[in-house]
A and B are shown apart, each in its own frame.
Chain A
Amino acid sequence: MRNAALLSWQPRLGRLFIYATLIAVAALYLIPLWVVLLTSFKTSADIRSGNLLSLPDVWVLEGWIKAWGTACTGVSCDGIRGYFVNSTVMVLPAVALSTLLGALNGYVLSLWRFKGSELLFGLLLFGCFIPFQVILLPMAQTLGWLGLANSTAGLVLVHVIYGLCFTTLFYRNFYQALPQEIIKAARLDGAGFFTIFWRIVLPLSGPITMVTLIWQFTAIWNDFLFGVVFSAGDNQPMTVALNNLVNTTAGVKEYNVDMAAAVLAALPTLLVYAVAGKYFVRGLTAGAIKG
Protein backbone atom coordinates (compact mmCIF):
# COMPACT_ATOMS: atom_id res chain seq x y z
CA MET A 1 0.00 0.00 0.00
CA ARG A 2 2.82 2.40 0.84
CA ASN A 3 4.44 1.83 -2.53
CA ALA A 4 1.13 2.28 -4.16
CA ALA A 5 0.67 5.62 -2.50
CA LEU A 6 4.04 6.75 -3.76
CA LEU A 7 3.64 5.50 -7.25
CA SER A 8 0.03 6.32 -7.95
CA TRP A 9 -0.37 8.18 -11.20
CA GLN A 10 -1.78 11.53 -10.35
CA PRO A 11 -3.33 12.75 -13.60
CA ARG A 12 -7.01 11.91 -13.87
CA LEU A 13 -6.62 10.43 -17.33
CA GLY A 14 -4.08 7.94 -16.06
CA ARG A 15 -6.39 6.76 -13.28
CA LEU A 16 -9.21 6.42 -15.76
CA PHE A 17 -7.03 4.32 -18.01
CA ILE A 18 -6.01 2.07 -15.12
CA TYR A 19 -9.59 1.49 -14.02
CA ALA A 20 -10.76 0.88 -17.58
CA THR A 21 -8.03 -1.70 -18.16
CA LEU A 22 -8.66 -3.48 -14.88
CA ILE A 23 -12.40 -3.64 -15.47
CA ALA A 24 -12.00 -4.80 -19.07
CA VAL A 25 -9.69 -7.59 -17.95
CA ALA A 26 -12.12 -8.55 -15.18
CA ALA A 27 -14.81 -8.83 -17.85
CA LEU A 28 -12.56 -11.12 -19.89
CA TYR A 29 -12.16 -13.39 -16.89
CA LEU A 30 -15.88 -13.41 -16.16
CA ILE A 31 -17.24 -13.83 -19.70
CA PRO A 32 -16.50 -17.57 -20.00
CA LEU A 33 -18.43 -18.22 -16.78
CA TRP A 34 -21.28 -15.99 -17.98
CA VAL A 35 -21.40 -17.77 -21.35
CA VAL A 36 -21.43 -21.17 -19.68
CA LEU A 37 -24.26 -20.14 -17.35
CA LEU A 38 -26.32 -18.57 -20.16
CA THR A 39 -25.91 -21.64 -22.35
CA SER A 40 -26.91 -23.99 -19.55
CA PHE A 41 -30.30 -22.23 -19.25
CA LYS A 42 -31.12 -22.29 -22.97
CA THR A 43 -32.97 -24.84 -25.04
CA SER A 44 -31.09 -26.60 -27.82
CA ALA A 45 -33.04 -24.65 -30.45
CA ASP A 46 -32.25 -21.41 -28.65
CA ILE A 47 -28.53 -22.26 -28.68
CA ARG A 48 -28.61 -22.76 -32.43
CA SER A 49 -30.55 -19.58 -33.19
CA GLY A 50 -28.82 -17.26 -30.71
CA ASN A 51 -25.17 -16.62 -29.97
CA LEU A 52 -22.83 -16.97 -27.00
CA LEU A 53 -23.92 -13.77 -25.32
CA SER A 54 -27.61 -13.65 -26.29
CA LEU A 55 -29.98 -14.11 -23.39
CA PRO A 56 -32.16 -17.24 -23.43
CA ASP A 57 -35.59 -16.72 -25.08
CA VAL A 58 -37.00 -18.72 -22.22
CA TRP A 59 -34.94 -19.66 -19.20
CA VAL A 60 -35.28 -23.43 -18.82
CA LEU A 61 -33.81 -26.02 -16.45
CA GLU A 62 -33.92 -28.73 -19.12
CA GLY A 63 -30.14 -28.90 -19.46
CA TRP A 64 -29.59 -29.03 -15.72
CA ILE A 65 -32.15 -31.76 -15.14
CA LYS A 66 -30.77 -33.87 -17.93
CA ALA A 67 -27.15 -33.32 -16.87
CA TRP A 68 -27.96 -34.36 -13.32
CA GLY A 69 -30.19 -37.34 -14.02
CA THR A 70 -30.32 -38.73 -17.54
CA ALA A 71 -27.38 -37.60 -19.68
CA CYS A 72 -25.15 -40.27 -21.19
CA THR A 73 -21.58 -40.51 -19.91
CA GLY A 74 -20.05 -43.19 -22.09
CA VAL A 75 -21.75 -46.46 -21.28
CA SER A 76 -24.51 -45.49 -18.87
CA CYS A 77 -27.20 -42.80 -19.17
CA ASP A 78 -27.89 -41.85 -15.56
CA GLY A 79 -26.50 -38.34 -15.63
CA ILE A 80 -23.65 -37.16 -13.48
CA ARG A 81 -25.47 -37.61 -10.18
CA GLY A 82 -23.67 -40.83 -9.31
CA TYR A 83 -20.25 -39.42 -10.20
CA PHE A 84 -20.88 -36.34 -8.12
CA VAL A 85 -21.52 -38.68 -5.20
CA ASN A 86 -18.35 -40.66 -6.08
CA SER A 87 -16.25 -37.52 -5.96
CA THR A 88 -17.81 -36.52 -2.65
CA VAL A 89 -17.25 -39.94 -1.12
CA MET A 90 -13.66 -39.89 -2.37
CA VAL A 91 -12.75 -36.35 -1.45
CA LEU A 92 -13.88 -36.35 2.19
CA PRO A 93 -11.77 -39.22 3.58
CA ALA A 94 -8.86 -38.36 1.29
CA VAL A 95 -8.75 -34.76 2.49
CA ALA A 96 -9.23 -35.68 6.15
CA LEU A 97 -6.59 -38.41 6.14
CA SER A 98 -3.96 -36.54 4.18
CA THR A 99 -4.42 -33.46 6.35
CA LEU A 100 -4.21 -35.36 9.62
CA LEU A 101 -1.13 -37.30 8.54
CA GLY A 102 0.42 -34.13 7.17
CA ALA A 103 -0.08 -32.42 10.53
CA LEU A 104 1.55 -35.30 12.41
CA ASN A 105 4.44 -35.53 9.94
CA GLY A 106 4.97 -31.79 10.00
CA TYR A 107 4.90 -31.85 13.81
CA VAL A 108 7.62 -34.49 13.97
CA LEU A 109 9.73 -32.97 11.20
CA SER A 110 9.77 -29.53 12.79
CA LEU A 111 9.50 -29.94 16.56
CA TRP A 112 10.85 -33.46 17.14
CA ARG A 113 13.69 -33.42 14.67
CA PHE A 114 16.15 -36.27 14.75
CA LYS A 115 19.27 -37.17 12.82
CA GLY A 116 18.33 -37.48 9.19
CA SER A 117 14.87 -35.94 9.52
CA GLU A 118 15.80 -33.01 7.29
CA LEU A 119 16.91 -35.41 4.59
CA LEU A 120 13.63 -37.32 4.90
CA PHE A 121 11.74 -34.07 4.55
CA GLY A 122 13.75 -33.15 1.46
CA LEU A 123 13.02 -36.52 -0.07
CA LEU A 124 9.33 -36.11 0.63
CA LEU A 125 9.33 -32.57 -0.74
CA PHE A 126 10.53 -33.87 -4.08
CA GLY A 127 7.21 -35.71 -4.35
CA CYS A 128 5.53 -32.32 -4.89
CA PHE A 129 7.48 -31.87 -8.09
CA ILE A 130 7.45 -35.22 -9.88
CA PRO A 131 5.27 -35.56 -12.94
CA PHE A 132 2.81 -38.21 -11.79
CA GLN A 133 3.13 -40.01 -15.11
CA VAL A 134 6.25 -41.52 -13.65
CA ILE A 135 4.34 -43.44 -10.95
CA LEU A 136 1.15 -44.36 -12.82
CA LEU A 137 2.14 -47.78 -14.14
CA PRO A 138 3.52 -49.23 -10.88
CA MET A 139 0.63 -47.74 -8.91
CA ALA A 140 -1.91 -49.33 -11.25
CA GLN A 141 -0.16 -52.66 -10.77
CA THR A 142 -0.05 -52.26 -6.98
CA LEU A 143 -3.72 -51.33 -6.74
CA GLY A 144 -4.49 -54.44 -8.77
CA TRP A 145 -2.56 -56.62 -6.33
CA LEU A 146 -4.31 -55.01 -3.38
CA GLY A 147 -7.70 -55.62 -5.00
CA LEU A 148 -8.30 -51.88 -5.09
CA ALA A 149 -8.13 -51.39 -8.85
CA ASN A 150 -10.99 -49.25 -10.17
CA SER A 151 -12.37 -48.58 -6.70
CA THR A 152 -13.00 -45.40 -4.78
CA ALA A 153 -10.91 -46.76 -1.90
CA GLY A 154 -7.98 -47.11 -4.27
CA LEU A 155 -8.35 -43.51 -5.40
CA VAL A 156 -8.50 -42.34 -1.80
CA LEU A 157 -5.27 -44.21 -1.09
CA VAL A 158 -3.49 -42.66 -4.09
CA HIS A 159 -4.65 -39.16 -3.19
CA VAL A 160 -3.57 -39.59 0.43
CA ILE A 161 -0.11 -40.84 -0.54
CA TYR A 162 0.70 -38.09 -3.02
CA GLY A 163 -1.18 -35.46 -1.05
CA LEU A 164 1.10 -36.16 1.91
CA CYS A 165 3.98 -34.39 0.20
CA PHE A 166 2.02 -31.14 0.12
CA THR A 167 0.29 -31.40 3.49
CA THR A 168 3.53 -32.30 5.27
CA LEU A 169 5.23 -29.34 3.60
CA PHE A 170 2.47 -26.95 4.70
CA TYR A 171 2.44 -28.06 8.33
CA ARG A 172 6.17 -28.44 8.62
CA ASN A 173 6.82 -24.90 7.42
CA PHE A 174 4.11 -23.57 9.72
CA TYR A 175 5.33 -25.43 12.80
CA GLN A 176 8.91 -24.47 12.02
CA ALA A 177 7.92 -20.91 12.93
CA LEU A 178 6.55 -21.92 16.36
CA PRO A 179 8.94 -21.16 19.21
CA GLN A 180 10.79 -24.31 20.29
CA GLU A 181 10.60 -23.00 23.88
CA ILE A 182 6.92 -23.90 24.10
CA ILE A 183 7.75 -27.51 23.44
CA LYS A 184 10.71 -27.51 25.81
CA ALA A 185 8.63 -25.99 28.60
CA ALA A 186 5.82 -28.46 28.04
CA ARG A 187 8.27 -31.35 28.09
CA LEU A 188 9.75 -30.14 31.36
CA ASP A 189 6.24 -30.08 32.76
CA GLY A 190 6.00 -33.74 31.84
CA ALA A 191 3.80 -33.46 28.76
CA GLY A 192 4.38 -36.22 26.23
CA PHE A 193 4.47 -36.32 22.45
CA PHE A 194 0.73 -36.60 21.90
CA THR A 195 -0.27 -34.32 24.78
CA ILE A 196 1.84 -31.53 23.31
CA PHE A 197 0.35 -32.16 19.89
CA TRP A 198 -3.30 -32.16 21.01
CA ARG A 199 -3.10 -29.54 23.74
CA ILE A 200 -0.55 -27.04 22.43
CA VAL A 201 0.30 -27.45 18.77
CA LEU A 202 -3.05 -28.36 17.27
CA PRO A 203 -4.96 -25.45 18.84
CA LEU A 204 -2.40 -23.13 17.20
CA SER A 205 -2.87 -24.76 13.79
CA GLY A 206 -6.14 -23.14 12.76
CA PRO A 207 -4.92 -21.06 9.79
CA ILE A 208 -2.64 -23.69 8.30
CA THR A 209 -5.35 -26.32 8.68
CA MET A 210 -7.75 -24.14 6.69
CA VAL A 211 -5.12 -23.68 3.99
CA THR A 212 -4.38 -27.38 3.85
CA LEU A 213 -8.01 -28.49 3.83
CA ILE A 214 -8.87 -26.10 1.01
CA TRP A 215 -5.77 -26.89 -1.00
CA GLN A 216 -6.38 -30.63 -0.70
CA PHE A 217 -10.09 -30.35 -1.40
CA THR A 218 -9.48 -28.35 -4.56
CA ALA A 219 -6.64 -30.54 -5.76
CA ILE A 220 -8.47 -33.82 -5.18
CA TRP A 221 -11.88 -32.68 -6.44
CA ASN A 222 -10.31 -31.27 -9.60
CA ASP A 223 -7.98 -34.19 -10.23
CA PHE A 224 -8.40 -35.89 -13.56
CA LEU A 225 -5.23 -37.91 -14.12
CA PHE A 226 -5.59 -40.30 -11.17
CA GLY A 227 -9.32 -40.53 -11.78
CA VAL A 228 -9.02 -41.54 -15.39
CA VAL A 229 -6.18 -44.01 -14.78
CA PHE A 230 -7.24 -45.67 -11.54
CA SER A 231 -11.02 -45.85 -11.86
CA ALA A 232 -13.49 -47.24 -14.33
CA GLY A 233 -17.21 -47.33 -15.06
CA ASP A 234 -19.44 -46.45 -12.14
CA ASN A 235 -16.58 -45.58 -9.81
CA GLN A 236 -15.24 -42.67 -11.80
CA PRO A 237 -15.00 -39.23 -10.23
CA MET A 238 -16.84 -36.18 -11.47
CA THR A 239 -14.09 -34.77 -13.71
CA VAL A 240 -13.80 -38.01 -15.67
CA ALA A 241 -17.57 -38.27 -16.01
CA LEU A 242 -17.78 -34.68 -17.28
CA ASN A 243 -15.16 -35.41 -19.91
CA ASN A 244 -17.02 -38.56 -20.95
CA LEU A 245 -20.31 -36.71 -21.11
CA VAL A 246 -18.89 -33.96 -23.31
CA ASN A 247 -17.17 -36.43 -25.62
CA THR A 248 -20.05 -38.88 -25.94
CA THR A 249 -20.70 -38.75 -29.65
CA ALA A 250 -24.02 -40.57 -29.69
CA GLY A 251 -26.98 -38.39 -30.73
CA VAL A 252 -27.20 -34.64 -31.24
CA LYS A 253 -24.80 -32.49 -29.26
CA GLU A 254 -26.60 -30.80 -26.38
CA TYR A 255 -24.46 -27.90 -25.29
CA ASN A 256 -26.87 -26.83 -22.57
CA VAL A 257 -26.40 -30.24 -20.90
CA ASP A 258 -22.60 -30.04 -21.26
CA MET A 259 -22.51 -26.58 -19.72
CA ALA A 260 -24.84 -27.48 -16.83
CA ALA A 261 -22.65 -30.49 -16.06
CA ALA A 262 -19.55 -28.30 -16.20
CA VAL A 263 -21.05 -25.86 -13.71
CA LEU A 264 -22.04 -28.72 -11.42
CA ALA A 265 -18.48 -30.06 -11.57
CA ALA A 266 -17.05 -26.65 -10.75
CA LEU A 267 -19.59 -25.74 -8.08
CA PRO A 268 -18.01 -27.29 -4.96
CA THR A 269 -14.59 -25.72 -5.49
CA LEU A 270 -16.11 -22.39 -6.53
CA LEU A 271 -18.19 -22.37 -3.35
CA VAL A 272 -15.10 -23.07 -1.27
CA TYR A 273 -13.32 -20.27 -3.11
CA ALA A 274 -16.20 -17.87 -2.51
CA VAL A 275 -16.36 -18.67 1.19
CA ALA A 276 -12.68 -19.02 2.01
CA GLY A 277 -10.83 -17.47 -0.90
CA LYS A 278 -8.33 -15.83 1.43
CA TYR A 279 -6.99 -19.20 2.54
CA PHE A 280 -7.10 -20.53 -0.99
CA VAL A 281 -4.78 -17.80 -2.21
CA ARG A 282 -2.50 -18.29 0.76
CA GLY A 283 -2.30 -22.00 -0.01
CA LEU A 284 -1.51 -21.37 -3.64
CA THR A 285 1.31 -19.00 -2.90
CA ALA A 286 2.64 -21.10 -0.02
CA GLY A 287 2.56 -24.24 -2.12
CA ALA A 288 4.06 -22.48 -5.08
CA ILE A 289 6.73 -20.33 -3.56
CA LYS A 290 7.94 -22.62 -0.84
CA GLY A 291 7.18 -25.85 -2.63
Chain B
Amino acid sequence: MILAQTQTARRPVRLGLTLEHVLPKLVLAPSLVLALVCIYGYMAWTGYISLTPSSFLPMYELSGFEQYQRLLENDRWRVACFNLALFGGLFIGACLLVGVLLAILLDQRIRAEGALRTIYLYPMAISFIVTGTAWKWILNPSLGLEKLVHDFGFTSFEFSWLTDPDKAIYTLVMAAVWQSSGFVMAMFLAGLRGIDSSIIKAAQLDGASLPRIYWRIVLPCLRPVFFSAVMVLSHIAIKSFDLVTALTAGGPGYSTDLPALFMYAHAFTRGQMGLGAASAMMMLAGVLAILVPYLYSELRGKRHA
Protein backbone atom coordinates (compact mmCIF):
# COMPACT_ATOMS: atom_id res chain seq x y z
CA MET B 1 0.00 0.00 0.00
CA ILE B 2 2.68 2.41 1.01
CA LEU B 3 4.86 1.25 -1.86
CA ALA B 4 2.05 1.75 -4.34
CA GLN B 5 1.46 5.23 -3.03
CA THR B 6 5.05 6.33 -3.40
CA GLN B 7 5.11 4.92 -6.91
CA THR B 8 2.06 6.83 -8.04
CA ALA B 9 3.43 9.88 -6.39
CA ARG B 10 6.73 9.51 -8.14
CA ARG B 11 5.44 8.94 -11.63
CA PRO B 12 4.19 12.48 -12.32
CA VAL B 13 7.41 13.86 -10.93
CA ARG B 14 9.45 11.80 -13.37
CA LEU B 15 7.18 12.80 -16.24
CA GLY B 16 7.59 16.38 -15.20
CA LEU B 17 11.33 15.99 -15.17
CA THR B 18 11.51 14.74 -18.74
CA LEU B 19 9.19 17.47 -19.91
CA GLU B 20 11.27 19.98 -18.02
CA HIS B 21 14.34 18.71 -19.78
CA VAL B 22 12.83 19.21 -23.19
CA LEU B 23 10.77 22.32 -22.58
CA PRO B 24 13.62 24.86 -22.35
CA LYS B 25 15.08 23.55 -25.59
CA LEU B 26 11.66 23.58 -27.23
CA VAL B 27 11.16 27.20 -26.24
CA LEU B 28 14.62 28.18 -27.40
CA ALA B 29 14.64 26.21 -30.62
CA PRO B 30 12.42 28.17 -33.06
CA SER B 31 13.84 31.64 -32.59
CA LEU B 32 17.38 30.43 -32.14
CA VAL B 33 17.36 28.19 -35.20
CA LEU B 34 15.83 31.02 -37.22
CA ALA B 35 18.44 33.50 -36.03
CA LEU B 36 21.35 31.13 -36.55
CA VAL B 37 20.20 30.19 -40.05
CA CYS B 38 19.73 33.86 -40.88
CA ILE B 39 23.22 34.67 -39.60
CA TYR B 40 25.44 31.77 -40.58
CA GLY B 41 23.37 30.26 -43.37
CA TYR B 42 23.01 33.64 -45.05
CA MET B 43 26.64 34.48 -44.55
CA ALA B 44 27.58 31.28 -46.36
CA TRP B 45 24.97 32.03 -49.02
CA THR B 46 26.40 35.50 -49.62
CA GLY B 47 29.85 33.94 -49.71
CA TYR B 48 28.63 31.57 -52.39
CA ILE B 49 27.05 34.35 -54.46
CA SER B 50 30.35 36.21 -54.31
CA LEU B 51 31.93 33.26 -56.13
CA THR B 52 29.42 33.36 -59.00
CA PRO B 53 29.00 35.71 -61.96
CA SER B 54 25.55 36.84 -60.63
CA SER B 55 24.44 40.15 -62.03
CA PHE B 56 20.74 41.12 -61.85
CA LEU B 57 19.62 37.69 -60.67
CA PRO B 58 21.53 35.19 -58.59
CA MET B 59 23.32 32.54 -60.61
CA TYR B 60 24.73 29.45 -59.05
CA GLU B 61 27.55 28.27 -61.32
CA LEU B 62 30.86 29.06 -59.73
CA SER B 63 33.38 31.36 -61.32
CA GLY B 64 36.07 31.30 -58.65
CA PHE B 65 37.43 34.48 -57.18
CA GLU B 66 36.70 36.53 -60.29
CA GLN B 67 34.44 38.97 -58.39
CA TYR B 68 37.09 39.61 -55.77
CA GLN B 69 39.61 40.30 -58.47
CA ARG B 70 37.19 42.72 -60.15
CA LEU B 71 36.58 44.32 -56.78
CA LEU B 72 40.25 44.91 -56.07
CA GLU B 73 40.71 46.41 -59.52
CA ASN B 74 37.63 48.59 -59.13
CA ASP B 75 38.59 52.21 -58.65
CA ARG B 76 35.38 53.08 -56.82
CA TRP B 77 36.01 50.28 -54.32
CA ARG B 78 39.53 51.53 -53.70
CA VAL B 79 38.18 55.02 -53.07
CA ALA B 80 35.57 53.56 -50.72
CA CYS B 81 38.20 51.66 -48.73
CA PHE B 82 40.53 54.64 -48.59
CA ASN B 83 37.60 56.80 -47.44
CA LEU B 84 36.72 54.29 -44.77
CA ALA B 85 40.27 54.39 -43.43
CA LEU B 86 40.33 58.20 -43.48
CA PHE B 87 36.81 58.64 -42.13
CA GLY B 88 37.19 55.85 -39.57
CA GLY B 89 40.54 57.11 -38.32
CA LEU B 90 39.41 60.70 -37.90
CA PHE B 91 36.01 59.73 -36.52
CA ILE B 92 37.43 57.34 -33.93
CA GLY B 93 40.26 59.68 -32.96
CA ALA B 94 38.00 62.73 -32.59
CA CYS B 95 35.32 60.82 -30.67
CA LEU B 96 37.89 59.43 -28.23
CA LEU B 97 39.48 62.81 -27.69
CA VAL B 98 36.20 64.67 -27.22
CA GLY B 99 34.77 61.82 -25.17
CA VAL B 100 37.63 61.53 -22.72
CA LEU B 101 38.03 65.30 -22.28
CA LEU B 102 34.33 65.83 -21.67
CA ALA B 103 34.24 62.93 -19.25
CA ILE B 104 37.19 64.29 -17.24
CA LEU B 105 35.67 67.78 -17.14
CA LEU B 106 32.27 66.39 -16.17
CA ASP B 107 33.86 64.41 -13.36
CA GLN B 108 34.91 67.60 -11.49
CA ARG B 109 31.83 67.88 -9.27
CA ILE B 110 29.90 69.82 -11.86
CA ARG B 111 26.63 71.26 -10.65
CA ALA B 112 24.33 70.59 -13.60
CA GLU B 113 26.03 67.32 -14.54
CA GLY B 114 22.79 65.49 -15.26
CA ALA B 115 21.51 68.18 -17.61
CA LEU B 116 24.83 68.46 -19.44
CA ARG B 117 25.05 64.69 -19.86
CA THR B 118 21.55 64.66 -21.29
CA ILE B 119 22.54 67.31 -23.83
CA TYR B 120 25.76 65.56 -24.87
CA LEU B 121 23.94 62.30 -25.40
CA TYR B 122 20.73 63.25 -27.14
CA PRO B 123 22.14 63.02 -30.69
CA MET B 124 22.61 59.30 -30.08
CA ALA B 125 18.82 58.87 -29.93
CA ILE B 126 18.39 60.34 -33.39
CA SER B 127 18.55 58.45 -36.67
CA PHE B 128 21.64 59.03 -38.81
CA ILE B 129 19.29 60.01 -41.61
CA VAL B 130 17.97 62.90 -39.52
CA THR B 131 21.51 63.88 -38.54
CA GLY B 132 22.57 63.78 -42.19
CA THR B 133 19.57 65.88 -43.23
CA ALA B 134 20.27 68.47 -40.56
CA TRP B 135 23.97 68.76 -41.32
CA LYS B 136 23.35 68.86 -45.04
CA TRP B 137 21.33 72.00 -44.40
CA ILE B 138 23.82 73.50 -41.93
CA LEU B 139 26.71 72.94 -44.34
CA ASN B 140 24.73 74.11 -47.35
CA PRO B 141 27.31 75.94 -49.49
CA SER B 142 25.20 79.02 -50.17
CA LEU B 143 22.57 79.32 -47.43
CA GLY B 144 24.21 77.53 -44.51
CA LEU B 145 27.28 78.24 -42.42
CA GLU B 146 28.82 80.40 -45.12
CA LYS B 147 25.91 82.82 -45.12
CA LEU B 148 25.87 82.91 -41.32
CA VAL B 149 29.54 83.94 -41.19
CA HIS B 150 28.96 86.48 -43.98
CA ASP B 151 26.17 88.02 -41.94
CA PHE B 152 28.57 88.29 -39.01
CA GLY B 153 30.67 90.53 -41.28
CA PHE B 154 33.34 88.16 -42.59
CA THR B 155 32.29 88.39 -46.22
CA SER B 156 35.33 86.65 -47.65
CA PHE B 157 34.57 83.44 -45.74
CA GLU B 158 34.05 80.47 -48.00
CA PHE B 159 32.75 77.11 -46.94
CA SER B 160 31.68 74.62 -49.57
CA TRP B 161 33.16 71.37 -48.28
CA LEU B 162 29.92 69.55 -49.04
CA THR B 163 30.41 70.05 -52.78
CA ASP B 164 34.19 69.78 -52.78
CA PRO B 165 35.31 66.23 -53.71
CA ASP B 166 38.46 66.61 -51.60
CA LYS B 167 36.71 67.98 -48.52
CA ALA B 168 33.28 66.32 -48.49
CA ILE B 169 34.57 63.35 -46.52
CA TYR B 170 35.37 65.67 -43.60
CA THR B 171 31.74 66.79 -43.39
CA LEU B 172 30.89 63.15 -42.71
CA VAL B 173 33.42 63.13 -39.88
CA MET B 174 31.89 66.28 -38.37
CA ALA B 175 28.34 64.97 -38.38
CA ALA B 176 29.38 61.53 -37.15
CA VAL B 177 31.45 62.98 -34.28
CA TRP B 178 28.54 65.22 -33.32
CA GLN B 179 26.31 62.19 -33.16
CA SER B 180 28.56 59.69 -31.38
CA SER B 181 31.01 61.57 -29.14
CA GLY B 182 28.51 61.98 -26.31
CA PHE B 183 28.17 58.25 -26.13
CA VAL B 184 31.94 57.83 -25.82
CA MET B 185 31.82 60.44 -23.07
CA ALA B 186 29.25 58.31 -21.22
CA MET B 187 31.48 55.26 -21.48
CA PHE B 188 34.53 57.11 -20.14
CA LEU B 189 32.51 58.74 -17.38
CA ALA B 190 31.33 55.32 -16.23
CA GLY B 191 34.97 54.20 -16.32
CA LEU B 192 36.17 57.20 -14.31
CA ARG B 193 33.57 56.55 -11.62
CA GLY B 194 34.85 53.01 -11.31
CA ILE B 195 38.45 53.95 -10.50
CA ASP B 196 39.57 53.28 -6.94
CA SER B 197 40.02 56.68 -5.33
CA SER B 198 42.65 55.48 -2.86
CA ILE B 199 45.24 55.21 -5.66
CA ILE B 200 44.67 58.84 -6.54
CA LYS B 201 44.76 59.88 -2.90
CA ALA B 202 48.11 58.16 -2.51
CA ALA B 203 49.50 59.90 -5.59
CA GLN B 204 48.31 63.25 -4.25
CA LEU B 205 50.01 62.62 -0.95
CA ASP B 206 53.20 61.92 -2.89
CA GLY B 207 52.84 65.41 -4.30
CA ALA B 208 51.97 64.50 -7.90
CA SER B 209 50.36 67.32 -9.87
CA LEU B 210 46.85 66.93 -11.21
CA PRO B 211 47.66 66.67 -14.93
CA ARG B 212 50.34 64.16 -14.01
CA ILE B 213 47.88 62.09 -11.99
CA TYR B 214 45.49 62.00 -14.92
CA TRP B 215 48.17 61.19 -17.44
CA ARG B 216 50.05 58.56 -15.43
CA ILE B 217 47.30 57.00 -13.32
CA VAL B 218 43.76 57.76 -14.42
CA LEU B 219 44.14 57.33 -18.17
CA PRO B 220 46.00 54.00 -17.89
CA CYS B 221 43.15 52.78 -15.68
CA LEU B 222 40.74 53.60 -18.50
CA ARG B 223 42.46 51.26 -20.94
CA PRO B 224 39.62 48.72 -21.08
CA VAL B 225 37.06 51.47 -21.72
CA PHE B 226 39.34 52.82 -24.41
CA PHE B 227 39.41 49.45 -26.18
CA SER B 228 35.64 48.98 -25.89
CA ALA B 229 35.10 52.44 -27.34
CA VAL B 230 37.45 51.79 -30.27
CA MET B 231 35.61 48.55 -30.85
CA VAL B 232 32.19 50.19 -30.93
CA LEU B 233 33.33 53.17 -32.98
CA SER B 234 35.12 51.13 -35.62
CA HIS B 235 31.99 49.05 -35.86
CA ILE B 236 29.90 52.17 -36.44
CA ALA B 237 32.42 53.36 -39.03
CA ILE B 238 32.45 50.13 -41.02
CA LYS B 239 28.66 49.94 -41.01
CA SER B 240 28.25 53.64 -41.91
CA PHE B 241 25.59 53.77 -44.54
CA ASP B 242 22.71 55.96 -43.41
CA LEU B 243 24.80 59.02 -42.66
CA VAL B 244 26.67 59.04 -45.94
CA THR B 245 23.44 58.36 -47.85
CA ALA B 246 21.71 61.31 -46.24
CA LEU B 247 24.60 63.76 -46.17
CA THR B 248 26.51 63.29 -49.43
CA ALA B 249 25.01 60.19 -51.08
CA GLY B 250 28.60 59.22 -51.79
CA GLY B 251 29.19 62.35 -53.83
CA PRO B 252 30.36 64.54 -55.38
CA GLY B 253 30.91 61.78 -57.92
CA TYR B 254 31.95 58.88 -55.73
CA SER B 255 34.42 60.90 -53.70
CA THR B 256 32.75 60.04 -50.36
CA ASP B 257 31.80 56.48 -51.17
CA LEU B 258 32.10 53.96 -48.35
CA PRO B 259 32.07 50.14 -48.53
CA ALA B 260 28.52 49.88 -47.17
CA LEU B 261 27.28 52.27 -49.85
CA PHE B 262 29.27 50.49 -52.53
CA MET B 263 27.71 47.19 -51.51
CA TYR B 264 24.17 48.55 -51.58
CA ALA B 265 24.65 50.28 -54.93
CA HIS B 266 26.12 47.26 -56.68
CA ALA B 267 23.93 44.57 -55.16
CA PHE B 268 20.59 46.38 -55.36
CA THR B 269 20.60 49.19 -57.88
CA ARG B 270 23.32 48.46 -60.42
CA GLY B 271 22.66 44.77 -61.00
CA GLN B 272 26.12 43.63 -59.94
CA MET B 273 25.06 41.10 -57.35
CA GLY B 274 28.26 39.06 -57.42
CA LEU B 275 30.41 42.13 -56.95
CA GLY B 276 28.09 43.40 -54.20
CA ALA B 277 28.31 40.05 -52.40
CA ALA B 278 32.09 40.10 -52.67
CA SER B 279 32.21 43.58 -51.15
CA ALA B 280 29.91 42.42 -48.33
CA MET B 281 32.29 39.55 -47.59
CA MET B 282 35.18 41.99 -47.49
CA MET B 283 33.25 44.09 -44.97
CA LEU B 284 32.71 40.99 -42.85
CA ALA B 285 36.43 40.27 -43.05
CA GLY B 286 37.10 43.82 -41.91
CA VAL B 287 34.83 43.44 -38.88
CA LEU B 288 36.41 40.10 -38.02
CA ALA B 289 39.89 41.59 -38.27
CA ILE B 290 38.94 43.97 -35.47
CA LEU B 291 36.66 41.67 -33.50
CA VAL B 292 38.80 38.57 -33.23
CA PRO B 293 41.87 40.18 -31.61
CA TYR B 294 39.54 42.11 -29.30
CA LEU B 295 37.63 39.03 -28.16
CA TYR B 296 40.91 37.13 -27.86
CA SER B 297 42.41 39.72 -25.55
CA GLU B 298 39.15 39.99 -23.58
CA LEU B 299 38.96 36.26 -23.00
CA ARG B 300 42.65 36.02 -22.16
CA GLY B 301 42.27 38.92 -19.75
CA LYS B 302 39.40 37.16 -18.01
CA ARG B 303 41.37 33.95 -17.65
CA HIS B 304 44.27 35.81 -16.08
CA ALA B 305 41.98 37.62 -13.67
Contacts and interface: CB of A to CB of B under 8 A. Distances in A.
Interface of A: 1-9, 15, 18-19, 21-22, 25-26, 28-30, 32-33, 35-36, 39, 47-48, 51-54, 101, 104-105, 108-109, 112, 114, 117, 120, 123-124, 126-127, 129-141, 161-162, 164-165, 187, 192-194, 218, 221-225, 228-229, 239, 242-243, 246-247, 255, 258-259, 261-262, 265-266, 269-270, 272-273, 277, 280-281, 284-285, 288-289
Contact of A193 (B27, B190, B213): B27
A112 B116 CA distance: 43
B204 interface: yes
B220 interface: no
B136 interface: yes
B302 to A, nearest CB: 12
Contact of A25 (B120, B210, B239, B277): B120
B86 interface: no
B300 to A, nearest CB: 16
Given A124-B32, A124-B36, A289-B187, 12 more contacts: A7-B107, A7-B200, A26-B116, A51-B148, A105-B31, A120-B32, A120-B36, A123-B36, A124-B35, A134-B284, A161-B34, A270-B126
Contact of A138 (B45, B144, B210, B287): B45
Interface string B144-181: 11011011000000000000000000000000001000
B6 to A, nearest CB: 16
A265 B287 CA distance: 30
A255 B178 CA distance: 21
A146 B78 CA distance: 37
B246 A243 contact: yes
Interface of B: 16, 19-21, 23-25, 27-28, 31-32, 34-36, 38-43, 45-46, 49, 58, 98, 102, 105-110, 116-131, 133-138, 140, 143-145, 147-148, 150-151, 178, 182-183, 186-187, 190, 192-193, 195, 197, 200-201, 204, 210, 213-214, 218, 228-229, 232, 235, 238-239, 241-242, 245-246, 249, 259-260, 263-264, 267-268, 273, 276-277, 279-281, 283-284, 286-287, 291
Given A6-B200, A135-B38, A246-B246, A259 B280 contact: no
Contacts of B276: 137
Contacts, number: 281
B122 A52 contact: no
Contacts of B35: 124, 127, 161-162, 164-165
7 contacts: A51-B150, A54-B151, A114-B21, A123-B36, A133-B260, A270-B126, A288-B228
B138 A137 contact: no
Contact of B107 (A3, A272, A277): A3
Contacts of B129: 222, 224, 239, 242-243, 265
B201 A246 contact: no
B15 to A, nearest CB: 11
Contacts of B183: 284, 288
B284 A131 contact: yes
Contacts of A9: 108, 210
Nearest to B135: A32
